[in-house]
Structure 1
Amino acid sequence: SNVLKIYKDELFSENSEGKKYLLSRGFSLQEAKEWELGFAPPEYGFLKEKLKGRYSDDDLFNAGVYAKGDKGFYDRFRNRLIFPIYSVNDKLIAFAGRQLTKDLPKYINTQETLSFKKSRVLFGLNKAKKDLHKFGYFIIVEGYFDCLRLWQAGYKTAIATMGTALSYEHGFVLKKYTNNLILCFDSDSAGQNAAVSALKNLLPFNFKIELIFLEEGEDPDSFILKRGKDSFDKKLQERTDFYEFLYNREFFLPPYKFSIQERSEKIKKIMEFLDLIKDPVTRVSYVTDLSERLNIPFKTLNKMVLSQSDVFVKEEKPTYDAEKLFLSQYIKNINIRKQFETRFHPEIFQNIDLRAIAEWIIEKKVDKNENLPHIIIDGFKEEEELITEILLIPDEETELEIIWKLLQERFLKRKLKEINLSLRNSREEEKDALIAKQKEILKEIKKLKENERR
C-alpha cells in the first residue's frame, strides 16, 4: 500500500531514528527489507503531508492509520517502528507500531476489522507456512521481535501472537497447516499461566503440543542475544510435552508428600485438561500413564474423565455442512434474508471462515434487496474458493428454521462451555456473575427445545 511504502521509505531515510533503533536491537537493514519494516516519525500530520489529499481522512481512519481527537484527525502511529501484518494469503491487513522510547503503550495496532482480528491472526504465518515442510512444526512466541530473532537464528517457522493469548480461533487457523506446535514462554508465573490458557484452547484440536520455558525475565529475543543460538537449540531439544508440564506443575514434590485432599485436587486439575482431548486413543494413553505414576486404578481415573464430561458440555462435532447450507441459502435467497434479518449474527457459525463471511455481510451493511452473491464474489476475493463452494450448494427443501435452531443451540452450548471453563479457574468474586450467565444460557437452550416440540 501507499502508506506502507511511506513508512518503509522513512525507515531507510538518512537520519531515521527508526533505523538507529533497529540496528541497536541487533537487526540488519536487509532483515528490515525482508519483513517490510517501516518507521512513523513523531509528527502528528506526517501522513497527511505525504499523501497530499490522495485519500480522505475517513478512509485513513478506517484503514487504522489515523486516530480522531477533539481537534480532528491525526497520525495513530508516531515515533514507532512499524510492523506490517499480513493475512495467510499475503494480503496487508493491519499495522503494529513499537514505541522507540519508554512511553506507554509499548505496542499499538490498527483497530480490528473484518480481515484483522487479533484472536485469529498470527504474525509471520504467511511466511512460516512456506518452510513448514522443512521443520514440521511452528514455534509460537509472544512478540514481534521474538519472532524476528528466531528467524535470524534460522528458525523459519517461528510465528507470534499480537498481545493476546492463543485463542480457540487460532487453533482453527493452525490446524489447517500442522499438528505440531511448540510454545515458547517465560518461566515465571505469567508464562506458566499463558501456557495453561493456551492449552485450554488448543488441546481440543488434538495438536501435539510441546513447551519451551526460558529463564525468568527472558524472552527468545533477549535469550538468543545474550546466550546465542546454541543455547536456544539446547532448549528446543529439551522441550517438554504439555502433559509433563501439567504433571510437574501440580506434583512439584513427590505425590506422597501431599495430603489426600491436596492430591485429589491436583489430579482433578490434570484430568480437566485430559478431558479436553477429543481423540480417545491419545486421551487413554495419558490417563494410563497418570494411573501408573500415581498408583491409582485406570478405571477410577477414567471415570473421572467421564463424570467431568457430564458436568461440562461436550464439544459438538462441527456442523459445517449445516452451516454452509444455511449461509448458502441466506446469500442466494432474498426472502430468507428478510426472514432472518433481525436474528442473523456471525457467532452462530463455528467455522471461522464462514463467520468471517457473515461478519463481512454485516459490516458492509448490504441491503437485503441487493444481489448478494454478486457483491460477495466481487468483494471477498481472499475466500474465493470457499465462496464458490457455498454458492454451488444446491437449494434444499429443508426447513431453514430447523437448521437455524440447530445452529443456535450449538452456539449456546459453545458459550456455556466457555463459561464452565471460566468457572473452573475463576476467583470467588467472579463466580456469581458467571453462574448468572450460565443460568441465562441454560434457560435459552431450554426455551429452544420447548419450541422444537411445538
Structure 2
Amino acid sequence: MGVSVNPRIIPEDIIQRIRERADIVEIVSAHLRVDKAGQNFKGLCPFHSEKTPSFTVSPSRQMFHCFGCGTGGDIFSFIMKINGESFTSAVRQVADRVGIHVPSVSDHPGGDKIARRRETLIQLNEDVANFFETSLWHDSLGKRGMEYLNTRAIQEETIRTFRLGFARPSWDALAKAMHAKGWTDNDLVDAGVAISRNAQDGAQRTGVYDRFRDRIIFPIFDLQNRVIAFGGRVLDKTQPKYLNSPETLLFHKSQQLYAMEKARTEATRHNALMVVEGYFDVIALHQAGIQNVVATLGTALTSSHLPLIQRFSKNLKLVFDPDTAGIRAALRTAAVEMLDLFAGRGISVDVVTLPDQRDPDTVVREEGTAAFDQLVKGAETLIDFVIRHNLSQATDQSIEAHVESLDTILAIIAKTSDSYQSLYLKQIAERLGIDEHALRMQHRAASVKTNKPAKRIRRIAEPPPSPQSGQVEEMLLQLVIQGKVNPEWLGDLQASEFLNRDYQTLFSWARAMPENEHLTHTQHFVSFGERNPEYESLISRLALRPLEFEEHTIERAVRECVSRIKARNLDNQFSERTRQIRIAEREGCSTKDMHTQLEALRQEKSAYAQ
C-alpha cells in the first residue's frame, strides 16, 4: 500500500523541537481531567462517551490513545482533533505555548501575497458581518427581518450565537458603508459581497452594487470562527429563496458545511454528524439542544466534503425533507457513486426521513425534541433508503422505468457482501412478485457484465489472516514501534512477508529509516502518522499498549516472531510449489527442477522449525 509524505510549510526540525519541549499531559489536562496511572495518565475520553477511563496519555512517548474508540496520535493530533484545527495551526498553538518561533507564511517565497490577501478578506468579512448585524438589531429597516425571525421562533440568544443579520433593500447600502471604512470595490468583489457593474451592465458603467439585498443574512464561518462567506434568505418572494456567496479565495462551497465550527464538538462526542437541508433547520435544532448538526451550502455531499467530515465523525445521518423534490434529490445524490464514495472511506451513512409536510425546524417547534429523536432512532441505512424508493417507483411505473429501477437496485446490491445480497434479493423478489431464481440469475449476469461489483465481492470475501499469525505480526510491530528491537534480530525479514497490509506499510517505513536511527525511536512513527492519518490510531495503540513479557526476554520474543513469520511464508510457498508440481505431472511436463526447489524449501522450513 502506498503512502504519502506531504511537504510541510513548517520545517521538520522546528516541529521536532516543539514536540520535544512540549508536555502532552499539560496540553491534554487543559481539556479534561487525567490521573496518574503507573507511568501514564488516564481519563475519560473526550472523543466518545464512556464511564470507565480508557483514554491513556504517555508523557514519555508524548502520545495519547483511547483503547475504547481507537482515537490516538501525538500532541499535535490531539489539538487537531479536540479543536478541529489544521496541522499547521496546531503546531503554531503548541509552539506559542512553549516559546518557539515558527516562521510565518510570509517568510516563505511566494506565500506572502496570497496569505496577506486572505487576511485582508477575513477582516473585510468581519466588517460586513458587523454591518449586517447592526442593520438587524438597530436599523428601522431591519425590523422586517427581526419580525420574520420571530415567526420562526428563533430566540435572541440564538440570533446572537449565529450572528444573524439583515441586508437592507438597497442596491448600495453595504458598499457605501464599506467604502466609508476604506474598503475598495475590488475588495468587495473579491469577498463576494458586491458585484461589479462592468461585469453585468457594460463597460460604460462603473462601480459595484450589493449582492445581498432585503435578506436575512447567515454568516458562514471556518473552523477558527472566522467569517468566510454569507448566505441570504429572501423576504421578497419574487427573488430566489436562498443566495450564497460565490467561490472566493476563502470560500469553497463543496468543502464547507454550515455550522461545522459549532457542531464539531458534539459530533465528536456522539460520534455522529447530522446533515440537514437548510440554515433554519440547523439553527432550530441547535437551539433545541441537538447540536451535532450541519447543512450543505447549495451542493450535494461530495468527496471534497469528506476530509472535513472525517475529522469529527465516521457516522453520518442525512435528514431529508419529505417533499417529492427532496426525495428525488436524495435519490440522485444517493446513487451508486455516493455509496462508493462513503463505503470506500469507512463512513457509515443513515437516512432520516421526516413525515409529510414536516422539516426538522417544524418537528422541533411543534412536537419537541423527543419526537425528532424518535425519527432519528428510526433511521434506515443509505442503501436501504435507495432500494426502498427505487422499489416504490418500480411498482407503479411503465415497463421501461420498471426495468431501469430494477437495474439500479441490482447495481447497488452488487456492492454489498454476499450475505446481504442474498437477503436483499429475497426481499425484492417478494416485493415485486418476481421469481427469486430468475432475479438471482439477472443479478449474476449484471455483476459479470460490469465486472466491478464482482471484484469488490471477491476482495471482501477473502479470508483474513488467522488470529494467530496476525497476533505474531502485531507483537513484532509493537516492539519495533516502541524502539525495543535491534535490527540484527530481524535478519532478512522483509515487509512483503507480513500478511496484514497496514503492518507491511509500517514495517517498510521502519526498514527505510537511516541506519543510525534504525528502529530505535517511536517519534519516527509519530511523524509518519502525522503525514498519513489513516495509520495514526494503529501507531498510537501499539506504541502505548503494555508489553506482555519481561524486558530481558525481548530478543527471544523478536527472534521467535521472525521465525514464525518466515515459517508461515515457507509453508505457503511449499504448498503452492506442491500444487504446481501436481498440475505439471497431470500435463506430462518435467518436474525435476520443481522437485529440487521443493526440497530446498523443505530444508529451509526445517531450519526455522528448529
TM-score, with length taken from structure 1: 0.61
CA contact (8 A) 2:411 2:446 kept: no
Secondary structure at the residue paired with 2:138?
coil
Mean CA deviation greater in 110-119 or 56-65: 110-119
C-alpha deviation, 1:301, in angstroms: 3.5
Write out per-residue CA displacement over residues 149-187 of structure 1, whole angstroms, 9 at most, x where no aligned residue.
111222111111122222232244323332211111122
Which residue in 2 is equivalent to 1:192?
A: 327
**How many angstroms apart in 1 are the aligned matches of 2:369 and 2:447?**
42
C-alpha deviation, 1:117, in angstroms: 2.2
C-alpha deviation, 1:35, in angstroms: 0.8
CA contact (8 A) 1:287 1:302 kept: no
C-alpha deviation, 1:40, in angstroms: 1.5
Mean CA deviation greater in 144-153 or 49-58: 49-58
**How many angstroms apart in 2 are the aligned matches of 1:269 and 1:139?**
26
Query: Would the alpha carbon gap of residues 253 and 263 (structure 1) be closer, same or farther in structure 2, given more than 3 Å must change?
Result: closer
Secondary structure at the residue paired with 2:334?
helix
Q: Equivalent residues in 2 for 1:408-427 (5 A)? A: none
Query: Would the alpha carbon gap of residues 287 and 260 (structure 1) be closer, same or farther in structure 2, given more than 3 Å must change?
Result: farther
**Larger RCO: 1 or 2 (CA < 8 Å, sep 6+):** 2
Query: Would the alpha carbon gap of residues 74 and 273 (structure 1) be closer, same or farther in structure 2, given more than 3 Å must change?
Result: same
Which residue in 2 is equivalent to 1:7?
A: 132
Which residue in 2 is equivalent to 1:30?
A: 157
Q: Does 1:161 align with 2:287?
A: no
Q: Does 1:202 align with 2:330?
A: no
Query: Would the alpha carbon gap of residues 270 and 64 (structure 1) be closer, same or farther in structure 2, given more than 3 Å must change?
Result: same
Which residue in 1 is equivalent to 2:409?
A: 270
Secondary structure at the residue paired with 1:221?
helix
**How many angstroms apart in 1 are the aligned matches of 2:148 and 2:351?**
31
**How many angstroms apart in 2 are the aligned matches of 1:261 and 1:196?**
18
Which structure's CA Rg is the greater one?
A: 2
Which residue in 2 is equivalent to 1:234?
A: 374
Indicate the percent of aligned positions where both proteins have the same amino acid: 30
Amino acid at match of 1:99: V
C-alpha deviation, 1:240, in angstroms: 1.7
Q: Does 1:146 align with 2:269?
A: no
Q: Does 1:86 align with 2:221?
A: yes
> Gaps (5+ residues) in structure 2?
1-125, 430-435, 457-526, 533-610
CA contact (8 A) 1:165 1:197 kept: no
**How many angstroms apart in 1 are the aligned matches of 2:390 and 2:196?**
49
Query: Would the alpha carbon gap of residues 313 and 34 (structure 1) be closer, same or farther in structure 2, given more than 3 Å must change?
Result: farther
**How many angstroms apart in 1 are the aligned matches of 2:160 and 2:235?**
19
C-alpha deviation, 1:83, in angstroms: 0.8
Q: Equivalent residues in 2 for 1:10-409 (5 A)? A: 10-13=135-138, 15=140, 16-17=142-143, 18-51=145-178, 52-69=180-197, 70=201, 71=205, 72-200=207-335, 201-204=337-340, 205-206=342-343, 207-252=347-392, 265-275=404-414, 277=415, 282-293=416-427, 294=429, 295-296=436-437, 301=443, 304-310=446-452
Mean CA deviation greater in 149-158 or 163-172: 163-172
Amino acid at match of 1:39: F
CA contact (8 A) 2:448 2:454 kept: no
Query: Would the alpha carbon gap of residues 302 and 85 (structure 1) be closer, same or farther in structure 2, given more than 3 Å must change?
Result: farther
Query: Would the alpha carbon gap of residues 258 and 32 (structure 1) be closer, same or farther in structure 2, given more than 3 Å must change?
Result: closer
Amino acid at match of 1:63: A
CA contact (8 A) 1:118 1:162 kept: yes
Mean CA deviation greater in 84-93 or 128-137: 84-93
Secondary structure at the residue paired with 1:67?
strand
Secondary structure at the residue paired with 1:83?
strand
Amino acid at match of 1:230: A
> Gaps (5+ residues) in structure 1?
315-384, 391-454
Amino acid at match of 2:222: S
Amino acid at match of 2:417: R
Query: Would the alpha carbon gap of residues 258 and 40 (structure 1) be closer, same or farther in structure 2, given more than 3 Å must change?
Result: closer
Secondary structure at the residue paired with 2:274?
strand
Query: Would the alpha carbon gap of residues 234 and 116 (structure 1) be closer, same or farther in structure 2, given more than 3 Å must change?
Result: same
CA contact (8 A) 2:276 2:294 kept: yes
Write out per-residue CA displacement over residues 88-136 of structure 1, whole angstroms, 9 at most, x where no aligned residue.
3433221111112323112111211243222222111122111113322
**How many angstroms apart in 1 are the aligned matches of 2:425 and 2:282?**
39
CA contact (8 A) 1:146 1:221 kept: yes
CA contact (8 A) 2:174 2:210 kept: yes
CA contact (8 A) 2:196 2:208 kept: yes
